Chain A
């Protein structure tokens, strides 16, 4: 149980274009979803937290107009990187916590990540 998927697993785009990354909880209701960014050999950097049906809460220093997050349902959240530039190249990982069979749990379950390369 508690499986999170991400799509795509990797993407290459040209500078100035936008890219959308999907995060899905496959077997539980994701009441809260998190988006992280990870640079090589570094730990996770939280970008934003979103509750289903609410606006995302962004961490300090993360541009909300550049990283658009939508959490429209209990199983899907999307991250759109708008007008991407080479410095946005990174490994993006989503995670979710919520309810499984009606029971809430505290731990986050992570997706497999999306490698974004902006050329």
Chain B
């Protein structure tokens, strides 16, 4: 069964304290893995797409990596404005219009 699990559910960090969010997936053929950021009361904002194991993408303090079983979103020296819920989603090769979303990690960065 195709599914996505994100951990932890919630993460509290001090400003500047680096950490990683995990997205584990099982899918019968991975076309793409996507990371989004969602602020309260808003739609998710696209961050990264990863297509193959070993691929890495970076944007400011965020770096996403991908293996055959999981993806990590590394946050380096986070700031309070990085506080949000981070969602990952996988797209299987057998259906381009199918996306499996995880339940998200709620990140709170304290000054």
Contact = CB atoms under 8 A, between A and B. Distances in A.
B42 interface: yes
Contact of A110 (B45, B49, B103): B45
Nearest to B100: A46
A102 B47 CA distance: 22
Give chain B's interface residue range (CB within 8 Å of chain A). 20 to 34
Interface in B71-111: 87, 89, 91, 96-97, 99, 101-104
B101 A108 contact: no
Interface string A14-55: 000000000000000000101000000011101001010000
B22 to A, nearest CB: 16
Give chain A's interface residue range (CB within 8 Å of chain B). 20 to 34
Interface of B: 31-32, 34, 36, 41-46, 49, 87, 89, 91, 96-97, 99, 101-104
Interface stretch (A67-75, A80-88, A111-119): A111-119
